Amino acid sequence: YKRSYLVADQRNYVVLLIQQTVRLIQVVGQIVFLLLTHNYIIYLLILIFSTLLNNVAITAYINKKHPWIKKGTKEKLNKSEKKPIFDNVKSIVIYKLGSVILNGTDNLIIAGFLKTAYVGLCSNYVLLISTVSTIISQAFSGLSASIGNYNVNADPVSNERIFEQLTFIGFWIFGFLSISLACLLNPFIQIWLGEDYVLSESIAISLAASFYFLVINNVPASYRTAMGFFRQARTAPLLASVINIGLSIILAKTVGLAGVFIATSISRIFTFCIIDPYYVYKLGFGKSSKKYFNIFLLRIMVISVTFLITRYLISCVNIDGIIGFFVKAITSI
């Protein structure tokens, strides 16, 4: 709850600074002890200790800067104040549970309907994509408090204008990253791990598409949560999970490994990418979301065409090795 105070106070950078400092200590400690002892238990104990250290550090910072929080208060919330809080928390729990189910089923389906070895091969790709996703999530988590603050003080017209600007910036950044991942994942894996760990281009493209439809919804999702619309979207992840599992089984059998990730993209498009902006426009801006979805489809077309052009240009680069990868990366940029 003390961490939440900093985030709400638009000082998430303090939380990130503490987290990343502790994370650096954790990783260095884990590397050193693995090299010296080869003991996995110590590796895990360092992880637990780091989580504890992170919480202690944030608590110490808050207690020093804001001692009034430490003292607490004798005032109690009445029932009318408690009810919406608990309703929202319940909705968030349902939402998070659905998200865990959605994000945890792909590997089970790959292992069950295709090959277990594919799980290991995909994990290399997922590791790279997850690293990019984490950086983006950190950046946008810091925006939530600012969006909430602006939402309270600004009129709906100004709110919508800022929303449109942020979605455009998001499209530009996420589109660039998605195209770069689609074009550069395989060359990078080839240099990093070798030819035996490279999957087909269609799988790299389907993974990049899945990444795009995950992160492109960051702005609408941030606005929905900042506006307090938790109950309205609480079933979205569960619905996405049902669609994802059903489509993944069908496409895994007909298309193969790429089909599993295509199913994930489709499930996100028809749930998160529709539900979040719909409620932002209907309940937040008090107007139709038709304009947003028209632009959303247009941007998918723009990214698709840009990807085909970039892919063609990169295919013209006939240089191997690290130098070749950097030339392809520059071409992609």
- On the question of pLDDT at 140 being above 80, the answer is no
Band of the pLDDT at 91, cuts 50, 70, 90?
A: confident
Band of the pLDDT at 9, cuts 50, 70, 90?
A: confident
- On the question of pLDDT at 139 being above 80, the answer is no
Determine the Cα–Cα distance for residues 176 and 156; give it in Å rounded to an integer: 30
Can you state the angle between helices 218-226 and 272-279, rounded to 10 degrees?
Answer: 40
Model confidence pLDDT, tens digit, residues 52-80: 999 999 999 998 888 888 777 778 888 88
Q: Does the predicted model carry a pTM greater than 0.75?
A: yes
The pLDDT value recorded for residue 276 is: 93
Residue 27 vs residue 73, higher pLDDT? 27
Determine the Cα–Cα distance for residues 151 and 222; give it in Å rounded to an integer: 11
The pLDDT value recorded for residue 188 is: 94
Per DSSP, the residues of 141-207 read HHHHHHHHHHHHHS-HHHHHHHHHHHHHHHHHHHHHHHHHHHHHHHHHHHHHT-GGGPPPHHHHHHH
Model confidence pLDDT, tens digit, residues 158-211: 889 999 999 999 999 999 999 999 999 999 999 999 999 999 999 999 999 999
- On the question of pLDDT at 10 being above 80, the answer is no
Model confidence pLDDT, tens digit, residues 294-322: 999 999 999 999 999 999 999 999 888 89
Amino acid, res. 216: I
Percent of the chain's residues with pLDDT above 90: 57
- On the question of pLDDT at 95 being above 90, the answer is no
Query: Which of these, 137, 144, 146, 147, lies nearest to 177 by C-alpha position?
Result: 137
What is the C-alpha R_g of the chain? 22
The pLDDT value recorded for residue 15 is: 87
The pLDDT value recorded for residue 138 is: 73
- On the question of pLDDT at 129 being above 90, the answer is yes
Sequence-separated (6 or more) residues with CB below 8 Å from residue 178: 208, 209, 211, 212, 303, 307
Average pLDDT in the chain = 90
Compute the average pLDDT of residues 236-250.
92
The pLDDT value recorded for residue 187 is: 94
Query: Which of these, 54, 69, 65, lies nearest to 19 by C-alpha position?
Result: 54
Model confidence pLDDT, tens digit, residues 251-298: 998 999 999 999 999 999 999 999 999 999 999 888 999 999 999 999
Compute the average pLDDT of residues 85-103.
85
- On the question of pLDDT at 141 being above 90, the answer is no
- On the question of pLDDT at 123 being above 80, the answer is yes
The pLDDT value recorded for residue 178 is: 96
The pLDDT value recorded for residue 230 is: 87
